[in-house]
Amino acid sequence: MIAQEDFEVIRRTSHQMRYQKGEIINRQGAKCTSLIYLHRGIVKFTYQGDDGKNTITTIVKGPKLLGGANMFFNDINIFSVVAIEDCDICHIDSRALRNVAVRHGNYILSMFEQTVGMFQASIFNFISLAHKHVYGRIADVLIYLWENVYKDSEYEFTLTRKELSEFAACSHENVITTLSKLNKEGVLMLDGKQIIIRDMKKLLEISKNG
């Protein structure tokens, strides 16, 4: 059981912040000084390669603890974390949390569970990118967003088409063409920014066939 004084240390060294859409919360390559708890909103994890190209590795909706591995293994941010929509975030001082965590094994276990769960989506996304054609990759992205972010078959994207292309590792034109094709095939319906999935079974089939 965590002592009240330990909670008080964490509370005193934490601070709440609001980020607007498009703001960088953590920058790739910068020193990591805090653990992020996403109260509300949606964020993307992006990686910029040596060629300057951005890839979205995963997209996360709050409430969610973001990261955790940096606390013990690497204090440099591997990815950038960027607000896709307005977000309420609590920055928890890494040193204070580390001091509490090493005295309470269940804290460490909980953080690792959160970290593994979050990056599991990134791993599956990279598997999809490596083995599937554009059609299958975009189907995977739509399914992931429906199941893990928007949780509805009728949702208005807060992602831009450019962000969708970075998540599926394809061109902006590929995204527009594929969405139009899926629309014509009756798999989904496009209405402005709203995407309505009409045939999830067919979308799953496209994902499976790649």
145: domain CATH number is 1.10.10.10
Same domain assignment for residues 14 and 89: yes
User: Helices 200-209 and 134-145 meet at what angle, rounded to 10?
Assistant: 130
What's the structural domain count of the chain?
2
Question: Do 93 and 36 fall into the same domain?
Answer: yes
Q: Are 190 and 104 found together in one domain?
A: no
- Mark which of 96, 128, 160 sits at the end of a domain: 128
Which position has the higher pLDDT, 77 or 203? 203
Tell whether 46 and 150 lie within a shared domain: no
Q: Single out the residue in 93, 128, 163 at which a domain terminates.
A: 128
157 has a pLDDT exceeding 70: yes
- The most confident of 63-67, 93-97, 159-163, by mean pLDDT: 159-163
Dist CA 75 CA 159 (whole Å) = 29
* Per-residue confidence (pLDDT) for residue 34, from 0 to 100: 83
Reported pTM = 0.80
Instruction: Print the domain residue range for 38.
Output: 4-128
DSSP at 52: S
Mean pLDDT score of the chain? 83
Calculate the CA dihedral of residues 100, 59, 129, 209 and round it to 10 degrees: 120
Let me know whether 42 and 119 are in one domain: yes
- Residues 29-44 pLDDT 10s: 998 888 888 999 999 9
Neighbours of 183 (CB within 10 A): 16
Please indicate, yes or no, whether residues 91 and 167 belong to a single structural domain of this protein: no
Lowest mean pLDDT among 11-25, 54-68, 112-126: 112-126
CATH at residue 55: 2.60.120.10
102-153 tens-digit pLDDT: 666 666 666 666 666 666 666 666 666 667 889 999 999 999 898 888 877 6
Instruction: For residues 173 and 107, state if they share a domain.
Output: no
Residue at a domain's end among 128, 143, 171: 128
Say if residue 144 is in the same domain as residue 205.
yes
